[in-house]
Chain A
Amino acid sequence: MSAKIHSQIPLEPERYELAAEPPYRFDLGRRDFFKFLGAGVLVVSVLKPAILAQESGGARRRGDSLPKEVNAWLHLAENGKVTVYTGKAEMGQNIRTSLSQAVAEELHVPIENIEMVMGDTQLTPFDMGTFGSRTTPTMNLQLRKVAAAARETLIGLAAAQWQTDRQHLIAADGKVTDPRNKRSVEYAALTKGQLLSQTVSEETPLIPATNWKVAGQTAPKVDGRDFVTGRHRYPSDQKLPDMLYGKVLRPPAFGATLVSVDTQKAEQAGVSVVHDGNFVGVAAASSELAAAALAVIHAEWKSEPQPSSKELFDYLRKNTVEGKDPTGDGDRYDVGAVDQALSAADHRLQQTYTVSYIAHVPLEPRAALAKWDGDNLTVWTGTQRPFGVRGQLAEAFRIPEERVRVLMPDTGSGYGGKHTGETAIEAARLARAAKHPVKVVWTREEEFTWAYFRPAGVIDVTSGVRGDGTITAWEFHNYNSGSAGIRTYYEIPNQRIVFHETNSPLRQGSYRALAATANHFAREAHMDELAHAVKMDSLEFRLKNLKDERLRAVFEAAAKQSGWGQNKTAGQGFGMGGGYEKLGNIATFAEVHVDQKSGDVKVVRVVSAFECGAIVNPDGLRNQIEGSNVQGLGGALFEAIEFDNGKILNGRMSEYRVPRFSDLPVLETVLLDRKDIPSVGAGECPMIGLAPAIANAIFDATGVRLRSLPMVPDGLKIS
């Protein structure tokens, strides 16, 4: 049953990630590899069509030619050193470690012997980008295959050297051993002088999760020491000799066009000034000088009147673009006869839920260092899509992609907010004019204003339920916030589910679990209201309408851990939320305390039960789940972007509240390790149950239903 339901719900890519431009093919010839890698053994993995469809997400959209070649490779040097090349990017989700574990497991070498080269468009194979919780289900599996193929190749080399049957040989601890003849040979001795290239075959045996020794165990962050000593260089820490600091003149409102500009005073200050179309920027010897020069530029802008956050939800309803959806996929799901089922239902319920725009607030703002060498451009930047940014740079400067190299030093987080290459383009434009390398680091205010936001949305839910608690009808309309996670996993015979694309008043894009957060909030909060309508316990009501075994398992595990059904004291409340997203299953139980006088809401305890197949790194996984809950508190309780007439009104850390130490609940995590199911990602799914769990707990404590995220930006008003 479980497998059936999981396959019924399509893996819905985030539509706002599809706003990315077409992918580009990696085209480095295989024979060129050894030129820069040196001699040894090379194993490459070739993408299969099934993986391609998942990885790209947008195969149907524009008839793109997708990368058909290699997506990872592993090089075993003559000295035994293992280097793995992948286009994935590290920004705190800890894949540098978990992918190393996968390689160490299959190749039988210590993690310390493995170097991961990541997110460098010159050295690593093409990759669409690091988003959508795809690294673990796709790249982890690919690297296991690559490492297993390398292991089999080494066994083959040893067998040839000893002229013996490979079946009698085993690989372990960086050696191939022949136990019968008590001899062994180091990998390095086998790779010496080789120029051997191998393609991964589907037949290469992988070590089953039940036999994992390195994967499946907690591994510390591979380069953790560099982070606690300040030695790691993030994109904003990059430096080159003769480097200048760049700043860009920002318009007073979104969409404003430049009417006139006077840069004379700035030029007299001895800085490099660029005016090119709507772009005005400066480059100077220090960021302070650059800011001072920017301040003396006089510019006039023209802008159009724009909506404000006060009228946001009305605006979204009125500005749908039905029938114009460019993706043309999965916008509407109909089954049964919803209208008749609603009329026949014992109880009907109609409610509207809303979510606000929120900002990613990555602690490291966008940053890029650009350097021209003749017509060749190199950019170090913090992005989840190094290859996408390469494409943007090539397009902006009208140069072939071969002349652009983008490198992604492990960056100060992204959460879906670093898919685009604004700073890269700005730094490169300034560097070309200044004839020096230029670094651009956005201020926090720029990051709040000129990046993009998690989409706001309005969701209307109408449902019908029989007196015995069987849900018979479900109508669900989502305006703007996205269609990921829009389908229900509850067994309902009559459904109408529609996503309405809308002209967003603000620039919007990907965000950790973006649409799934909104859709689960509406669905799981509504489930609680329905349970209340039929006077059933929330857990019992869910389980009555839920067949999916994996989802039932997490709800039951979290209920057990949290002690669901406990007695409560004044101001105390308990609630749950959960669901299925990006192939993972989560149930979240929250306990809140609402101060009866002040209305302050404190989330006291959060219990999460999560299942994502075979666990690769248990502590890394717990860290992701805890982090999802803490970050999720912000969007659930108090984060919202306020705007008016093309301006952001709260675009500073002092005006936009993010979760802090004092918001921290007790976090308890139950991991369900399903070694029989392939590993999937965990960066997003654990977040989706939190907001409805808190909403339902607040109702339990106070009898007040909150249907808008954030729920209590100014505390709860208890009438």
Chain B
Amino acid sequence: MAVIRLTINEKPYTVDADPQTSLLSVLRENLDLTGSKYGCGEGQCGACTVLIDGKAQRSCITRVGAVAQKQITTIEGLASSAQLHPVQEAFLEAGAMQCGYCTSGMIMSAVALLKRNPQPKESEIIAFMDGNVCRCGTYARIVSAIQKAAKVATVSSAAKGAGR
């Protein structure tokens, strides 16, 4: 066991854990941040996806000791108080869920994709998201939600540009 300092959703946390423990276990069991989900334990389904320094990473196969110096963002840190993140809004608008268990991982992956590629083509969305599983089969809606969110981002950045 070791004392590990983490920065999650811009807040500092200190946990007493084996550095080999998965980040997912620490989030869920030590910190009660249960928005990140267990789905497979081998990085195959994406339900546990979080952002590490802005990049999508599977927290179930990420050792907590490896992310001590990094910025961790979970689904709980995406919305700023009352304001949902555009990707969250887009998922609601597109009805891009059924049971919702994959949703937080889908949203975190989508946020990472749009950071890297603000205007992804459909084929790029599919390629990037292929590691995230939705057993209810809402993939088409998720693609359309990501496209909506990309559009909103363009419109809002264009509006900002015009205001300058």
Determine if A653 and B44 form an interchain contact, defined as CB atoms under 8 angstroms apart.
Answer: yes
Chain B residues whose C-beta falls within 8 Å of the C-beta of A286 in the assembled complex: 25, 29-30
Contact residues of B: prevailing secondary structure? loop
- In angstroms, Cα B74 to Cα A413, docked, is 22
- In angstroms, Cα B102 to Cα A117, docked, is 24
Known: A363-B45, A659-B137. A413 touches B39 (CB 8 A): no
Q: Which of A224, A233, A652 contacts B34 (CB 8 A)?
A: A233
Chain B residues whose C-beta falls within 8 Å of the C-beta of A653 in the assembled complex: 39-40, 42, 44-45, 133
Determine if A630 and B42 form an interchain contact, defined as CB atoms under 8 angstroms apart.
Answer: no
Determine if A220 and B140 form an interchain contact, defined as CB atoms under 8 angstroms apart.
Answer: no
Closest residue on chain A to residue B129 by CB atoms = A661
Determine if A237 and B29 form an interchain contact, defined as CB atoms under 8 angstroms apart.
Answer: no
Determine if A626 and B25 form an interchain contact, defined as CB atoms under 8 angstroms apart.
Answer: no
Chain B residues whose C-beta falls within 8 Å of the C-beta of A652 in the assembled complex: 40, 42, 44
Give the size category of B's interface with A.
35 or more
- Tell me the smallest distance from the CB of A46 to a CB of chain B, in Å: 32
Known: A94-B98, A286-B25. A228 touches B91 (CB 8 A): yes
Determine if B139 and A664 form an interchain contact, defined as CB atoms under 8 angstroms apart.
Answer: yes
- In angstroms, Cα B127 to Cα A180, docked, is 64
Chain A residues whose C-beta falls within 8 Å of the C-beta of B100 in the assembled complex: 92, 221, 227-228, 232, 410, 412
- Tell me the smallest distance from the CB of B21 to a CB of chain A, in Å: 6
As a 0/1 sequence over residues 22 to 61 of chain B, the CB contacts with chain A under 8 angstroms (1 = contact) are 0001001110111111111110110100000000000000
Chain A residues whose C-beta falls within 8 Å of the C-beta of B136 in the assembled complex: 92, 413, 627, 631
Q: Which of A230, A239, A363, A627 contacts B39 (CB 8 A)?
A: A363
Q: Which 8 A-B pairs have the closest CB atoms?
A: A230-B35, A92-B99, A630-B137, A412-B101, A227-B100, A230-B75, A92-B98, A627-B137
Interface residues of A in 442-493 (CB under 8 A from B): 443-444
Q: Which of B33, B101, B143 contacts A661 (CB 8 A)?
A: B143
**A608 CB-CB contact with B under 8 Å:** no
Chain B residues whose C-beta falls within 8 Å of the C-beta of A620 in the assembled complex: 95
Determine if A230 and B74 form an interchain contact, defined as CB atoms under 8 angstroms apart.
Answer: yes
Chain B residues whose C-beta falls within 8 Å of the C-beta of A667 in the assembled complex: 140
As a 0/1 sequence over residues 360 to 373 of chain A, the CB contacts with chain B under 8 angstroms (1 = contact) are 01111100000000
Known: A220-B92, A363-B39, A413-B135. A627 touches B97 (CB 8 A): no
Q: Which of A231, A415, A664 contacts B35 (CB 8 A)?
A: A231
**A658 CB-CB contact with B under 8 Å:** yes
Determine if B95 and A619 form an interchain contact, defined as CB atoms under 8 angstroms apart.
Answer: yes
Q: 12 new A-B pairs (CB below 8 Å) besides A231-B76, A658-B133?
A: A92-B98, A221-B92, A227-B103, A228-B92, A229-B76, A230-B35, A230-B76, A364-B99, A626-B138, A626-B140, A627-B138, A631-B136
Q: Which of B99, B125, B132 contacts A411 (CB 8 A)?
A: B99
Interface residues of A in 409-458 (CB under 8 A from B): 410-413, 415, 441, 443-444
Known: A630-B137, A653-B44. A441 touches B38 (CB 8 A): yes
Determine if A287 and B40 form an interchain contact, defined as CB atoms under 8 angstroms apart.
Answer: no
- In angstroms, Cα B75 to Cα A692, docked, is 40
Chain B residues whose C-beta falls within 8 Å of the C-beta of A365 in the assembled complex: 38-39
Q: Which of A224, A229, A237, A660 contacts B97 (CB 8 A)?
A: A224
- In angstroms, Cα B142 to Cα A630, docked, is 13
Known: A225-B92, A361-B135. A412 touches B37 (CB 8 A): yes
Known: A363-B47, A627-B136, A654-B42. A412 touches B126 (CB 8 A): no
Chain B residues whose C-beta falls within 8 Å of the C-beta of A287 in the assembled complex: 25, 29
With a 10 A CB-CB cut-off, give which of B32, B38, B138, B142 has the most chain A CB atoms: B38
Determine if B40 and A444 form an interchain contact, defined as CB atoms under 8 angstroms apart.
Answer: yes
Contact residues of A: prevailing secondary structure? loop
Give the size category of A's interface with B.
35 or more
**B147 CB-CB contact with A under 8 Å:** no
**B5 CB-CB contact with A under 8 Å:** no
Determine if B137 and A629 form an interchain contact, defined as CB atoms under 8 angstroms apart.
Answer: yes
- Tell me the smallest distance from the CB of B51 to a CB of chain A, in Å: 13
**B141 CB-CB contact with A under 8 Å:** yes
Known: A220-B95, A230-B35. A631 touches B137 (CB 8 A): yes
Contact sample, A vs B, 22 pairs, CB 8 Å cutoff: A91-B99, A221-B92, A227-B100, A228-B91, A228-B103, A229-B78, A233-B34, A287-B29, A288-B25, A362-B135, A364-B39, A441-B38, A623-B95, A624-B98, A626-B137, A627-B138, A630-B134, A631-B135, A659-B139, A660-B130, A660-B133, A661-B142
**B107 CB-CB contact with A under 8 Å:** yes
Chain A residues whose C-beta falls within 8 Å of the C-beta of B135 in the assembled complex: 361-363, 413, 415, 631, 658
